[in-house]
Amino acid sequence: MSIDELDGRLLVTMRANPRIGLTELARLLGVARGTVQARVEKLTARGVIADFGPTVTPEGAGYPILAFVSLQIAQGRLDEAVRALEPLPEILEVYGTSGQADLLCRVVARSTPDLQEIIARILASPAVQRTDTTIALSVQVPYRIEPLLRAAAET
């Protein structure tokens, strides 16, 4: 499934103006309001648009430390490890990976001692054999989707 030029312009405009209404969006794009509404519904149903909620930053919520924690999991215990991670609210995302680690977690913490405690809670699971932690010092390229949307709309 790909997006066309109008979908790309629609998504880029919505990202630039998150509180924009459908009528104003239609005006900016030069298309009918019904077209915009149908496109938004289609993109939402396809999972291209994931949500309409506010973007909340962990820093703003009191969690200024960002770390990536890779986990090596005991053979055959992946599901157990994932179940042990789910209750930890500081773990924002967990990805299954190839290479040295089995899982890669994006973790936030209030401080480095707090991060150490979170890692200890991760290691409390018998399914987790080893962790390796990298603390992010700064954001060099923030999350972005607009260049990808523009490129996808051109193909």
Distance CA 130, CA 132 (A): 7
Structure tokens at 117: 């405690």
Query: What's the CATH class of domain 65-136?
Result: alpha beta
Note the pLDDT tens digit of each residue in 138-155.
Answer: 999 999 999 999 898 887
- Residues 43, 6 contacting (CB under 8 angstroms): no
Residue with tokens 């289609």, as numbered in its chain: 42
Q: In DSSP terms, which residues pair with 135 in a beta bridge?
A: 67
pLDDT of residue 96: 98
Note the pLDDT tens digit of each residue in 70-97.
Answer: 999 999 999 999 999 999 999 999 999 9
Which residues of the chain form CATH 3.30.70.920? 65-136
User: What distance separates the 2 farthest-apart alpha carbons in the chain?
Assistant: 58
Q: Report whether pLDDT(1) > 90.
A: no
Query: What's the CATH class of domain 5-54?
Result: mainly alpha
How many other CB atoms are there within 10 angstroms of residue 130's CB atom?
A: 13
pLDDT of residue 103: 98
DSSP state of 61: T
Smallest Cα–Cα separation from 108: which of 69, 58, 55?
58
- Mean pLDDT calculated for residue range 99-106: 97
Q: Report whether pLDDT(66) > 80.
A: yes
Q: Mean pLDDT across the chain, nearest whole number?
A: 95
pLDDT of residue 53: 85
- Mean pLDDT calculated for residue range 32-57: 94
User: How many residues are listed for the chain in this entry?
Assistant: 155
**β-strand pairing of 91-96 with 128-136:** unpaired
In the chain, where does DSSP find H-type helix?
A: 5-16, 22-29, 33-45, 78-85, 112-123, 146-154
Which residues of the chain form CATH 1.10.10.10? 5-54
pLDDT of residue 86: 98
Q: Report whether pLDDT(135) > 90.
A: yes
